[in-house]
Amino acid sequence: MKMRQLLLSSLLCLISSVGFSAEYKVVNQVEYQAVAKKLLPGDTIILADGVWHDFEIVFKGKGTKDKPITLTAQTKGKVILSGQSNLRLAGEYLVVSGLIFKNGYTPSSAVIAFKYNDQELANHSRVSEVVIDEYSNPDRFESDYWVALYGKHNRFDHSFLRGKRNKGVTIAVRLNTEASQHNHHLIDHNYFGPRPTFGSNGGETLRIGTSHYSLTDSLTRVEHNYFDRCDGEVEIISVKSGKNQISHNVFYQSRGTLTLRHGNGNVIENNVFLGNGVEHTGGIRVINRDQVIRNNYLSGLTGYRFGSGFTVMNGVPDSPINRYHQVVNAVIENNTLINVDNIYLGAGSDSERTSTPKNSSFKNNLIYNQNKASPFTILDDISGIEFSNNLANFKADFSQKALSYTNLDLQQDTNGLLTLANTQVGANLSKILTKTDTGPAWYSKADLAIEFDTGKVISIAPGDGVLAEALAHANSGDIIELAAGEYIAHKILAVNKTISFKAAPNAQVLILPERSSLFEIQNSGSLKLDGVHLSGRLSPDSSGNVLIRTQKWGMYKNYQFVMSNSKVTDLNVNHSFHFFDAGARSFADLISIENSQFRDISGDLLRLNQETDDQGIYNAEYVVINNNQFAQVQGALLDLYRGGTDESTFGPHLEMKNNTLSQVGLGKRNKLKSAVHLHGVQHTLMEYNQFKHSALVKVEHTVGDPKTLIRHNVFSNTARPEVVELIFDQKPTAIFHQNVFK
Ligand code: CA
């Protein structure tokens, strides 16, 4: 086989010398450099199978339509670019395929750039069947793109992009010079795998243009792509240019929306949004002129406000280019909306956004809600939207004739989508895209994330160094089960996998750290504690110990910390002994504490307050504190902080139920002077808690549409909760209901 290939390639080289195409196989960077200089139309350069470390590929050349120049892998999927690698292509009719970028990150501003520099761009070129998997800069706020499209008539297709964790759009179409405008790019058949919640602006999956060039047409087509749990931020796709076409894509359980943020004349058709009831799943948000939204199927979407299943915005009169242009001539027709919780019309109406939608139509749409409740919220004058021939199974409360109320008898089609027979109303989609229609066939789309308690049980009994040893030998997903007795931790336990520490049935387990921390959650780590007693009795006699903390730098993967049925005591050997401290730039998907007891703590319990630069960044998406008892805690139980005015995130969210607090937050070193301090938290539910002789609850609303519900709590010898609006001059919007003050 090898001999034949060798013969074949020498034969091809020979032929090339008399004017035919050559095929060059290279095994190292020096060979690549030598060959890359002499590429002619029709030539192919083949990277040998294996790992190429720190390889910044420059691929330049002038192919022709019939004789492109190709860069590919010896075996597709067997060539791995790792470390500080990237690819820049420039010239005409170039084709790249078969490469994998993983185990590293780009040292430059893009993993794949369709340009060499600002003068030399790629045109008529194609990057196909490439993989960029978890290739994220370890500094979460160091921004880059994974794919940056410049030039014209380029195609990016059948590729796999998963797990971008640092700031920056996954794919950006740039229009920053004339040579990249009216570009007619095609982005198709790609698999966009999970992008975790970023916890700040800059987590979009695809952006076409920027506000600066948004009145320029891009003419980019985005077709047949699968967006699988792209949860980065409120915009999954941000269209910021004109005349793009987004069609036949599937958005599966993705938090956020396809937003027509800037630019006119875009067409959104034949797309499917499947939310399956997942929180913050959204659909389409319409802004600007001449937008067409046709024949889309939206189902099970729970998002609200700008993240709704469907939103038509108000504009700003004579809007600056970066604000909101009025919706004019929007055509919204033949869409099906099934169990979409919210449809907002005139959204964003306020003293600045006063231009209501104009000359627009909403027709032949089918809207069905199982609960028969109207999803519509009308926020301003919508007389500029003409409604006709829409069917719904509920009565519209805003207009008699906007929707025809009927008992919709829907049928499931061969795709599993609901349709109404014998009618021109609603979407009609012949075949919907599946995951397997996208990405390279040779790369697995199986999830990487490992859940708690999915591995084996490792049983241990007290002994010297047993905790560290068990942890070192465990695999991600394993459960370390502790027999009864005392465990002394001589070392800080570094958690860099998904791991559970669990007391054996009915076992009394006491863990005593001897260092300033017991656990450090590191990158790739998630920690679960169940049924254990943690005591600070043997901790060093100095101030500022932290029982559990995250890694201090490079914590770019989201993590979870879950504790239940446990006990934490004696964190008081010196002052300011904290229970949990999130490091700066760390981000928890979930912090949950349930059915546990805390007593005699000289510091704070949950310090989720490290992002003090007020750029809309925060430390935890979901915080759950249920059924616990807290007593004699000098510091605060919780400080959850999200500063700034950016509106690109969903959280933070807090649920706090059925807890008893007794003497919490009254220590003289507690600068917050509160037991619970919430700043910029978007969702708060606080109910059935008892506050006894404790510091107050302080809630500071900033931007967004924060929802705070405080009900059925008993406050004895505790000041009333304080709620303030810091940004908007309005009455606090928090809801208080049936609280008792004694
Ligand atoms: Ca954004």
For residue 230, the CA-to-ligand 1 centroid distance in Å is 13
For residue 207, the CA-to-ligand 1 centroid distance in Å is 9
For residue 648, the CA-to-ligand 1 centroid distance in Å is 5
**Cis bond upstream, residue 194 (ω within 30):** no
| Mean pLDDT value across residues 584-608 | 97
| Mean pLDDT value across residues 355-376 | 96
Name the residue among 49, 45, 51 with its Cα closest to residue 31: 45
User: Quick one: pLDDT at residue 613?
Assistant: 86
Q: How far apart are CA 638 and CA 653, in angstroms?
A: 13
User: Quick one: pLDDT at residue 163?
Assistant: 97
For residue 165, the CA-to-ligand 1 centroid distance in Å is 15
Contact 419, 409 (CB under 8 A): no
For residue 360, the CA-to-ligand 1 centroid distance in Å is 26
∠ at Cα 420 (414, 422), nearest 5°?
105
Instruction: Considering only residues 556 and 4, tell me which one the structure prediction assigns the higher pLDDT.
Output: 556
User: Quick one: pLDDT at residue 19?
Assistant: 59
For residue 256, the CA-to-ligand 1 centroid distance in Å is 10
For residue 522, the CA-to-ligand 1 centroid distance in Å is 28
> How far from the centroid of its chain's Cα atoms is residue 451's Cα?
18
For residue 144, the CA-to-ligand 1 centroid distance in Å is 14
Position 729 pLDDT exceeds 90 = no
Q: How far apart are CA 220 and CA 182, in angstroms?
A: 8
Position 568 pLDDT exceeds 60 = yes
Position 615 pLDDT exceeds 90 = no
Per-residue b or e along 714-726, where b marks 16 or more CB atoms closer than 10 Å to that residue's CB: ebeebbebebebe
Give the pLDDT band (50/70/90) at residue 431.
confident
For residue 721, the CA-to-ligand 1 centroid distance in Å is 33
CA separation, residue 285 to residues 50, 232, 313, 428, 651 (Å): 45, 17, 7, 21, 20
CA separation, residue 711 to residues 132, 688, 735 (Å): 47, 7, 8
For residue 260, the CA-to-ligand 1 centroid distance in Å is 12
Of 35-49, 403-417, 670-684, least confident by mean pLDDT is 403-417
Position 739 pLDDT exceeds 70 = yes
**Cis bond upstream, residue 652 (ω within 30):** yes
List residues bridging with 475 in a β-sheet: none
Query: Could you read off the pLDDT of 210-227 as tens digits, one per residue?
Result: 999 999 999 999 999 999
Query: Could you read off the pLDDT of 76-111 as tens digits, one per residue?
Result: 999 999 999 999 999 999 999 999 999 999 999 999
For residue 495, the CA-to-ligand 1 centroid distance in Å is 32
- Per the structure block, which two tokens stand in for 640? 């959850």
For residue 566, the CA-to-ligand 1 centroid distance in Å is 40
For residue 201, the CA-to-ligand 1 centroid distance in Å is 5
Report helix, strand or coil for 403.
coil
Position 11 pLDDT exceeds 60 = no
Contact 106, 148 (CB under 8 A): no
Query: Could you read off the pLDDT of 369-400 as tens digits, one per residue?
Result: 999 999 999 999 999 999 999 999 999 888 87
Contact 659, 697 (CB under 8 A): no
User: Quick one: pLDDT at residue 646?
Assistant: 80
User: Quick one: pLDDT at residue 415?
Assistant: 87
- Per the structure block, which two tokens stand in for 355? 């231009």
For residue 88, the CA-to-ligand 1 centroid distance in Å is 26
Query: Could you read off the pLDDT of 461-504 as tens digits, one per residue?
Result: 999 999 999 999 999 999 999 999 999 999 999 999 999 999 99
User: Quick one: pLDDT at residue 265?
Assistant: 98
For residue 728, the CA-to-ligand 1 centroid distance in Å is 22
For residue 185, the CA-to-ligand 1 centroid distance in Å is 22
CB-CB neighbours of 548 under 10 Å: 24
Of 268-272, 347-351, 552-556, 677-681, least confident by mean pLDDT is 552-556
∠ at Cα 133 (131, 135), nearest 5°?
115
User: Quick one: pLDDT at residue 705?
Assistant: 78
User: In one letter, which amino acid is 635?
Assistant: G
8-state DSSP, 8: H
- Per the structure block, which two tokens stand in for 43? 């030539």
Give the pLDDT band (50/70/90) at residue 331.
very high
Query: Could you read off the pLDDT of 676-712 as tens digits, one per residue?
Result: 999 999 999 999 999 999 999 999 998 877 899 999 9
Q: How far apart are CA 196 and CA 254, in angstroms?
A: 10
| Mean pLDDT value across residues 303-323 | 95
Position 124 pLDDT exceeds 90 = yes
For residue 130, the CA-to-ligand 1 centroid distance in Å is 26
For residue 561, the CA-to-ligand 1 centroid distance in Å is 28
For residue 186, the CA-to-ligand 1 centroid distance in Å is 22
Position 15 pLDDT exceeds 60 = no
Report helix, strand or coil for 406.
coil
Q: How far apart are CA 436 and CA 146, in angstroms?
A: 22
For residue 427, the CA-to-ligand 1 centroid distance in Å is 29
For residue 262, the CA-to-ligand 1 centroid distance in Å is 12
Percent of the chain with pLDDT over 90: 89
| Mean pLDDT value across residues 285-291 | 98
Q: How far apart are CA 293 and CA 232, in angstroms?
A: 24
For residue 559, the CA-to-ligand 1 centroid distance in Å is 23
User: Quick one: pLDDT at residue 586?
Assistant: 94
For residue 259, the CA-to-ligand 1 centroid distance in Å is 9
Name the residue among 417, 420, 414, 411 with its Cα closest to residue 392: 420
For residue 172, the CA-to-ligand 1 centroid distance in Å is 12
Q: How far apart are CA 151 and CA 285, in angstroms?
A: 28
Ion ligand 1, residues whose Cβ is below 5 A away: 201, 235, 648
Position 5 pLDDT exceeds 60 = no
For residue 626, the CA-to-ligand 1 centroid distance in Å is 33
For residue 662, the CA-to-ligand 1 centroid distance in Å is 42
For residue 429, the CA-to-ligand 1 centroid distance in Å is 30
User: Quick one: pLDDT at residue 7?
Assistant: 43
For residue 679, the CA-to-ligand 1 centroid distance in Å is 21
Position 675 pLDDT exceeds 80 = yes
For residue 233, the CA-to-ligand 1 centroid distance in Å is 7
Of 207-221, 392-406, 633-647, least confident by mean pLDDT is 392-406
For the chain, the average pLDDT equals 95
Domain spans of the chain, in order of start: 604-742
For residue 285, the CA-to-ligand 1 centroid distance in Å is 13
CB-CB neighbours of 1 under 10 Å: 5
> Is the full-model pTM beyond 0.85?
yes
For residue 168, the CA-to-ligand 1 centroid distance in Å is 10
For residue 203, the CA-to-ligand 1 centroid distance in Å is 7
For residue 576, the CA-to-ligand 1 centroid distance in Å is 38
For residue 274, the CA-to-ligand 1 centroid distance in Å is 21
User: Quick one: pLDDT at residue 616?
Assistant: 86
| Mean pLDDT value across residues 548-566 | 94
